[in-house]
Amino acid sequence: MKYFTTLACIFLLLSISALGQKNLTISGYLTDESSGEAIIGAAIYIPELETGTTTNIYGYYSISLPPGNYTLVFSSLGFTTQTKSVDLNSNTTLTFEFEEEEVSLDEIVVEGERQDQNVTSVEMSVERLDAKQVEKMPAFLGEPDIINSLVLLPGVTNVGEGSNGFNVRGGNVDQNLILLDGAPIYNSSHLFGFFSVFNTEATQDVKLYKGGIPAEHGGRLSSVLEIHQKEGNMKKLTGSAGISSIASKATIEGPIIKDRMSFIASGRISYVGYMAKLTPDNADNNIYFYDANAKVNYIINEKNRIFLSGYFGNDAIVFGGDFNFRMQWGNSTTTFRWNHLFNEKLFSNLSVIYSNYDYVLGSTDENTAFDWKSKIVNYNLKYDFTYYASSTNNIKFGLSALEYKFEPGKVVSSSEISAFNEFQVPPENALELGAYISNEQKIGSRLTLQYGLRYSHFINHGAGEVYEYETGVPRNPDYPNSFDGKNEVIGSTTFDRYESIAQYGGFEPRASMIFLLNEHSSLKASYNRTRQYIHLITNTTAPLPINVWKPSGKYVEPSRADQVALGYFKNFNNNTFELSAEVYYKKFYDLVDYVDGAALILNPYVEQDLLKGNGRAYGLEIKAEKRKGKTSGWISYTLARTERTVHGINGDNAYPSNYDKPHDISLVVYHDISEKVEISGVFNYSTGKPITYPDGRYEFDGYVFSNYSNRNGARMPDFHRLDLSLNYWPKRNPDAKVKGKWNFSLFNAYGRRNAFSLSFRQNEDYPQYTEAYRISILGSPVPSVGYSVTF
Amino acid sequence: MKKTHFYIFSFLISLFTIGCEDLIVVDVPEGDTKLVVEALLYSTDSIHQITLSNSAPYFDKNQTPRISGALVYIMTNNGDSVGFRETGIGSGRYTANFKLEEGKTYFLNILTAQGRIYRSLGEKLLRVSPLELYQSDEILDSIQGFRPQGYYVSIRTVEPAGIGDFYRWIININGEQQLSPQYFWIADDRLVDGNVIEEFPQFFVYGMMPGDSVSILQTSISARAYNFWYLLQEQVFNSGGPFDTPPGSPEGNVISLSDPNEIVLGYFSVSNAREASITVRQK
């Protein structure tokens, strides 16, 4: 009931603003003069009224004011601040191009955002990375990587070097909604986690919500990672190409119709496997990845713009010779967007999104020939609206429908004499519906509230087959983690196309507030509830490309999380330094966990191996950043804990998650030595990850086995690593047509052997002895060289 | 699948040639001492052996303590019972001479010298097919960390129709039981039900030279025993890489009647078995 009260309040506020004085609207698009691309998050300030607004992700702004004479100050970091006088006596459109600020070349400038955004925006728990920033960081094998850079931010961790995915504030890897131009990405890694699927050359910027997730996003518990692909230069044809120790890439962008229509196309291909082939042992083996990005952007007229973007990527691993094994996996996405202005106050965006993740494993050997295929496909229709109601209210609302098709696994024997039978885990289908409304409301000059409500509804539907178990559930809760807990399959029910199998739904309240203490500091607070209806079924340390997503259904429930966060934000020295400190507390409900020895792959009765649990995470995150000048960078410190409590695991006691790292410090420094040379360094220190130690050994059938009791009860040695890089521009002047850049990286500079894990096992020569081994993914410094050109 | 993970991880590590592994010293906790029952009975044996021992601290380098002086006997579902006798004082090894019969269910009973009573759940002697061994026609080159140079020997068998057969194989090379991960062979028939099984790289014994003798015991195991061996397999294949699953303690089928909360390690199983041997020839 209380939700309806909240809703009623929102509508009441709406009607109050509608009843107010007759306001007029100033609106328009802000673009970059050099490329014609939209400027996101630029500030528009009206000193007379001490109010303002910012541009949205399409560069659009709108503000309603009483008639009068005003000064409008347009500002964005990296661009010259512009002042315009407006005599407002009718609705006014003010669209113009921003000139890039004349900055000395060797300064790092984080573009496209208001200078004091950190302090003045109601958003909190948000991290941004600019692709240019990422490209200047030291890179593993010289290949700049967005996700490897993200883990340097407070609150973001992973389970170790070269592991798939990332963890945000105690959340599992599958709790991140990763959106590439709005399309969900189901596996963000190449090469099992050494690199991510996002090519920095095609990326504009990256925004990560760790908390305070706005109502327009739903579907995952812990974070939203928005990756915007570049739009393409509207003015002139430009391009870039690069070569690193592991991959080559090239990008071209330019106008199709000057100032109206642009395109960008980018491709990347790795040759890591070809290097490996040079060693005789690997002559028949190969591993590689590639990806392609493309986008077309068309301004039809003042009121209509369309975008079409796509991504396609693939990984392949081949064991040749007599082994005859291959494995391939990849994502592909397509996004169509239509921005439409109904009037200067009502901005809309219609998105039609397709996303697919699939893999295939197979052997071509005649006797064991098989193809094993699996995929998740989704079609998404979204309609989002922003209503610039008044200078103090900014309302967003929208609808979304997302249809999923899950094909968890199908084995096809591909030769006549193959020993494998045809086999299929029943496919599942689901529809996820969402509706939201939220309002950002300014109260006076110091207080801004953002409050909203999302309702999500999930329908697991036919055509499908659902197994029936004796006693009605797949597991007996009295034997939580035991062979005897499996209930017998007694039959199955077949459902027709679109017939509902199971339904879940619920409200997701979201709220944030900011209170400006003074011009340079603020306090923020936020609360959000999130619901997640699909789960990545994985029990390995890091997810594998062959893990499958499972929708909530008859036997698997959706997960839920609640998070509160409080923060203090302060800028110094004319926004040169930014300081932020946040504390958060997060509870997780109904998370999926796994029985010991769970068979999660190609198992039609996988629900028999699933357990249910709760979790919590809490922490303090402090970050100090220098944004301008010859030396820039940040230092961050995170103090955090994350744990799980699952009936049937660890004697029902709470245990730390695999990525629980109580202390985590990152230092990122960029320094310009001269106009042509810039260096950067990254240092990371964290507490060792939790590990389960054996508490005894025993002999059985010739083997010596370990007995384990306290899940994740011990810790591995502390982690620390230093990475360095040097960028050198032989001819760096703004008039040069072609600019080349050398990059020299030294990853793991002092050769630290960080433990990925400890392995407990028998000595090979003396099987009686049991020993502990430290496994390191990087055992020595890794140098690399890269070269890139832009034209 | 476990093996594929294992090889992919090794391959990735070799690919970057920067990963490494070294021996380290860590302090591990010391848990309670637990009874370990090793009672794996095969239809091919006439003398059966059961070993009782205790678990020991992890880095202890001695043989784990044996449990001597216990009363050990097996009962069948129709009430027959066979007593086991300890061979050698303090050996903890108990033997008995009898034949297992297909279709019968067996129970293990233990009464220790301290008066503690243990009993297993019933284990039925299931069906198993005969098998043949054959060798490859050609010598395969070595692949570092994966296989040595030589012929391979593999199995040929017919999986009987009907899902629900579980297998474990025991591999002997030149009379020695093989314990390394690549010889930890267990399987279920879900994907191969009713088919001829041959040329399965999963069941290759690599690196054989002329004169080497290989013998393989193909044994049936129950679904519960498969679950137990599957968890042991995860331990054997634990490589410390990103593809490992959290270590769990395999749940045995021996229960303490004296203290229902007591954890008993090990397993009592009866397996129908068929053996085949081959001596590798020059080809």
A471 — alpha (psi -120 to 50), left (phi > 0) or beta? left
What is the pLDDT, as a whole number, of residue B8? 56
Residues 6+ apart with CB under 8 A from A754: A160, A161, A717, A719, A720, A721, A776, A777, A778
Q: Please, which pLDDT band fits residue A627 given cuts at 50, 70 and 90?
A: confident
> In Å, how far is A698's CA from the nearest CA of chain B?
5
Distances (CA, A) of A575 to A51, A120, A578: 19, 12, 7
At residue A649's C-alpha, the angle toward residues A646 and A653, to 5°, is 70
Annotate A427-461 with b (16+ C-beta within 10 A) or e (fewer): bbbbbbbbbbbbbbbbeeeeebbbbbbbbbbbbbb
Per residue in A760-779, pLDDT (tens digit) is 888 877 777 888 888 888 88
What is the pLDDT, as a whole number, of residue A735? 72
> In Å, how far is A651's CA from the nearest CA of chain B?
12
Query: How many whole angstroms separate alpha carbon A566 and alpha carbon A585?
Result: 9
Q: Which of A538, A381, A400 is nearest to A458 (CA)?
A: A400
Per residue in A706-750, pLDDT (tens digit) is 998 889 999 999 999 999 999 998 877 767 778 899 999 999 999
> In Å, how far is B235's CA from the nearest CA of chain A?
8
Instruction: Show which of residues 614-643 on chain A sit within 8 Å of chain B, judged by CB atoms.
Output: none
Distances (CA, A) of A83 to A45, A72, A392: 9, 6, 21
- Is residue B81 exposed (0-12), middle (13-18) or buried (19+ Cβ within 10 Å)? exposed
Is B258 a residue whose pLDDT tops 60? yes
> In Å, how far is B35's CA from the nearest CA of chain A?
9
What is the pLDDT, as a whole number, of residue A283? 67
* Average pLDDT of every residue of chain B: 89
Query: How many whole angstroms separate alpha carbon A751 and alpha carbon A782?
Result: 8
Report the percent of chain B where pLDDT is more than 90. Answer: 64
> In Å, how far is A190's CA from the nearest CA of chain B?
12
Beta bridge partners of A549: A536
**DSSP string over A455-484:** EEEEEEESSEEEEEEGGGSSB-TTSTTSGG
Q: Which amino acid is at A596?
A: D
Q: Please, which pLDDT band fits residue A105 given cuts at 50, 70 and 90?
A: very low
- Decide if A714 touches B, using CB distance below 8 A: yes
Peptide bond into A463 cis (omega under 30): yes
At residue A624's C-alpha, the angle toward residues A620 and A627, to 5°, is 145
Per residue in A548-569, pLDDT (tens digit) is 999 999 999 999 999 999 999 9
Chosen from A190, A322, A650, A757 to mutate, greatest number of chain B CBs within 10 A: A322
Candidate from B59, B231, B244 with C-beta closest to A770: B59
Instruction: Show which of residues 655-694 on chain A sit within 8 Å of chain B, judged by CB atoms.
Output: 658, 692-694
- Decide if A600 touches B, using CB distance below 8 A: no
Query: How many whole angstroms separate alpha carbon B173 and alpha carbon A505?
Result: 60
Which chain B residue is nearest to residue A420, measuring alpha carbons?
Answer: B192
Say which residue the tokens 């193809």 belong to.
A371
* Average pLDDT of every residue of chain A: 88
Residues 6+ apart with CB under 8 A from A716: A688, A689, A690, A691, A755, A757, A758
> In Å, how far is B179's CA from the nearest CA of chain A?
7
A129 — alpha (psi -120 to 50), left (phi > 0) or beta? beta
Per residue in A519-531, pLDDT (tens digit) is 899 999 999 999 9
Is A113 a residue whose pLDDT tops 70? no
Chosen from B25, B245, B265 to mutate, greatest number of chain A CBs within 10 A: B245
Q: Which of A155, A220, A139 is nearest to A186 (CA)?
A: A220
Which chain A residue is nearest to residue B57, measuring alpha carbons?
Answer: A696
Is B52 a residue whose pLDDT tops 90? yes
What is the pLDDT, as a whole number, of residue A16? 45
Which chain A residue is nearest to residue B143, measuring alpha carbons?
Answer: A281
| Residue B1 with chain A: CB contacts under 8 Å | 601
What is the pLDDT, as a whole number, of residue B11? 56
**DSSP string over A331-374:** EEEEEEEEEEEEETTEEEEEEEEEEEEEEEEEE--GGG-EEEEE
Chosen from A328, A425, A775, A782 to mutate, greatest number of chain B CBs within 10 A: A775
Distances (CA, A) of B160 to A462, B167, B278: 34, 12, 24
Distances (CA, A) of A497 to A356, A409, A605, B59: 21, 20, 21, 59
Query: How many whole angstroms separate alpha carbon A343 and alpha carbon A356?
Result: 35
Per residue in A210-238, pLDDT (tens digit) is 999 999 999 999 999 999 999 899 999 99
Give the phi and the psi of residue A17 in degrees, each rounded to 5. Answer: -65, -30
At residue A435's C-alpha, the angle toward residues A433 and A437, to 5°, is 165
The answer to whether the CB atoms of A282 and B196 lie below 8 A apart is no
The answer to whether the CB atoms of B230 and A756 lie below 8 A apart is no
- Decide if A760 touches B, using CB distance below 8 A: yes
What is the pLDDT, as a whole number, of residue A108? 41
| Residue B23 with chain A: CB contacts under 8 Å | 771-774
Query: How many whole angstroms separate alpha carbon A329 and alpha carbon A348?
Result: 35
Candidate from B7, B19, B198 with C-beta closest to A778: B19
The residue-averaged pLDDT of B199-222 equals: 92
> In Å, how far is B267's CA from the nearest CA of chain A?
9
Which chain B residue is nearest to residue A773, measuring alpha carbons?
Answer: B23
Query: How many whole angstroms separate alpha carbon A619 and alpha carbon A562?
Result: 14
- Decide if A191 touches B, using CB distance below 8 A: yes
Candidate from B20, B58, B251 with C-beta closest to A770: B58
- Decide if A751 touches B, using CB distance below 8 A: no
Query: How many whole angstroms separate alpha carbon A182 and alpha carbon A354?
Result: 10
> In Å, how far is A636's CA from the nearest CA of chain B?
26
Q: Which amino acid is at B71?
A: L
Which chain B residue is nearest to residue A714, measuring alpha carbons?
Answer: B28
Rounded to 10 degrees, the C-alpha dihedral B255/B29/A697/B260 comes to 0
| Residue B12 with chain A: CB contacts under 8 Å | 162, 191-192, 287
Chosen from A700, A723, A746 to mutate, greatest number of chain B CBs within 10 A: A700
Q: Are strands A500-518 and A195-196 parallel, antiparallel or unpaired?
A: unpaired
Report the sign of the C-alpha dihedral through residues A175, A176, A180, A186, in that order. negative
Any alpha helices (H) in A239-385, and if so which ranges? 272-276
Total residues belonging to chain A:
791
The answer to whether the CB atoms of B7 and A541 lie below 8 A apart is no
What is the pLDDT, as a whole number, of residue B15? 52
CA atoms within 13 A on the CB side of A422: 5
Candidate from A542, A708, A757 with C-beta closest to B249: A708
- Decide if A364 touches B, using CB distance below 8 A: no
Which chain B residue is nearest to residue A702, measuring alpha carbons?
Answer: B179
**Radius of gyration of chain B from its Cα atoms, rounded to whole angstroms:** 21
Look up residue A66 and give its two tokens: 């009483």
The residue-averaged pLDDT of A115-134 equals: 84
> In a 3-state reduction of DSSP, which class is residue B18?
coil
| Residue B18 with chain A: CB contacts under 8 Å | 777-780, 782
The answer to whether the CB atoms of A776 and B34 lie below 8 A apart is no
Report the percent of chain A where pLDDT is more than 70. Answer: 93
The residue-averaged pLDDT of B97-125 equals: 96
The residue-averaged pLDDT of A623-652 equals: 93
Is A104 a residue whose pLDDT tops 50? no
Query: How many whole angstroms separate alpha carbon A697 and alpha carbon A706?
Result: 4
Query: How many whole angstroms separate alpha carbon A293 and alpha carbon A236?
Result: 19
- Decide if A710 touches B, using CB distance below 8 A: yes
CB A784 within 8 A of CB A194: no
The distance in angstroms from the start CA to the end CA of chain A is 60
CB A259 within 8 A of CB A97: no
Instruction: Show which of residues 382-411 on chain A sit within 8 Å of chain B, judged by CB atoms.
Output: 411
Distances (CA, A) of A148 to A37, A160, A712: 27, 11, 25
Say which residue the tokens 């922490």 belong to.
A619
Q: Which of A200, A216, A211, A300 is nearest to A260 (CA)?
A: A300
Q: For the whole model, what pTM was predicted?
A: 0.90
Beta bridge partners of A695: none
Query: How many whole angstroms separate alpha carbon A686 and alpha carbon A160?
Result: 11
Range in A27-31, A200-204, A390-394, B20-24 the model is least confident about: B20-24
Chosen from A158, A414, A421, A745 to mutate, greatest number of chain B CBs within 10 A: A421
Q: Please, which pLDDT band fits residue A47 given cuts at 50, 70 and 90?
A: confident
Chosen from A289, A698, A704, A780 to mutate, greatest number of chain B CBs within 10 A: A698
What is the pLDDT, as a whole number, of residue A421? 80
Q: Please, which pLDDT band fits residue A264 given cuts at 50, 70 and 90?
A: very high
What is the pLDDT, as a whole number, of residue A42? 85
Is B85 a residue whose pLDDT tops 60? yes
Q: Which of A118-122, A288-292, B35-39 has the highest mean pLDDT?
A: B35-39
A419 vs A784, which has greater pLDDT?
A784
**A-B C-beta contacts closer than 8 Å:** 260
Q: Which of A120, A245, A188, A249 is nearest to A580 (CA)?
A: A120
Helices (H) and strands (E) in chain A, counts: 5, 51
What is the pLDDT, as a whole number, of residue A779? 80
Query: How many whole angstroms separate alpha carbon A785 and alpha carbon A256?
Result: 35
Which chain B residue is nearest to residue A706, measuring alpha carbons?
Answer: B58
Q: Please, which pLDDT band fits residue B111 given cuts at 50, 70 and 90?
A: very high
The answer to whether the CB atoms of B240 and A773 lie below 8 A apart is yes
Is B17 a residue whose pLDDT tops 60? no
Per residue in B57-84, pLDDT (tens digit) is 998 888 999 999 999 999 999 889 999 9
Chosen from B2, B17, B18 to mutate, greatest number of chain A CBs within 10 A: B18
Say which residue the tokens 């020695």 belong to.
B176
> In Å, how far is B128's CA from the nearest CA of chain A?
18
Distances (CA, A) of B181 to B187, B201, B234: 14, 14, 10
- Decide if A605 touches B, using CB distance below 8 A: no
What is the pLDDT, as a whole number, of residue A109? 45
Any alpha helices (H) in A166-276, and if so which ranges? 272-276
Q: Are strands B81-86 and B117-120 parallel, antiparallel or unpaired?
A: unpaired
